[in-house]
């Protein structure tokens, strides 16, 4: 139930005919939000082609290999991520003397 105070100071109460803002508004009732098949761990992402916020699973990185500049192959204990300027990728590699200081002694 909502309350309105009139200019004369008299208090009146009314029950709105639609959804009362105090009891909640669902996102999908907003004109610029389109929700479909809502699932756990989704985010709202703006789609400029439709001018709508849409729910999607993309946007959350869950593994290093899902990043566009990382290549992970044959993982083993003790490896590190090292940048390969030839491929412009971060790659998993064993740590060696050569990888630390160029191997010059």
pLDDT digits (tens, 9 = 90+) for 56-95: 886 667 788 888 899 999 999 999 999 999 999 999 999 8
Residue 49 included in any domain: yes
* 5-23: average pLDDT: 56
Residue 25 or residue 105, greater confidence: 25
Residues 75 and 55 in one domain: no
Question: Which band of pLDDT confidence, cut at 50, 70 and 90, is reported for residue 98?
Answer: confident
Q: Determine the pLDDT at residue 48.
A: 92
pLDDT higher than 80, residue 31: yes
Q: Determine the pLDDT at residue 27.
A: 81
Q: Which two tokens stand for residue 76?
A: 């083993």
Domain of 77, in residue numbers: 64-100
Chain centre to alpha carbon of residue 34: 16
Q: How many domains does the chain have?
A: 2
Q: Determine the pLDDT at residue 70.
A: 93
Residue 2 or residue 37, greater confidence: 37
CA distance 29 to 50: 16
Residues 53 and 31 in one domain: yes
Helix (H) / strand (E) element for 46: namely strand 43-47
Residue 14 included in any domain: no
Residues 55 and 73 in one domain: no
Residue 45 included in any domain: yes
């Amino acid at each position: 139930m909502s309350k309105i105070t009139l200019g004369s100071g008299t208090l009146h109460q009314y029950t709105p005919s639609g959804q009362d803002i105090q009891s909640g508004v669902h996102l999908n009732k907003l004109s610029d939000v389109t929700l479909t098949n809502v699932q756990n761990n989704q985010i709202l992402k703006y789609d400029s082609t439709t001018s709508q916020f849409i729910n999607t699973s993309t946007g959350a990185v869950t593994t290093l290999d899902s990043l566009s500049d990382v290549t992970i192959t044959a993982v083993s204990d003790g490896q590190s991520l090292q940048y390969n300027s030839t491929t412009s990728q971060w790659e998993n590699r064993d740590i060696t003397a050569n990888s630390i200081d160029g191997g010059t002694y």
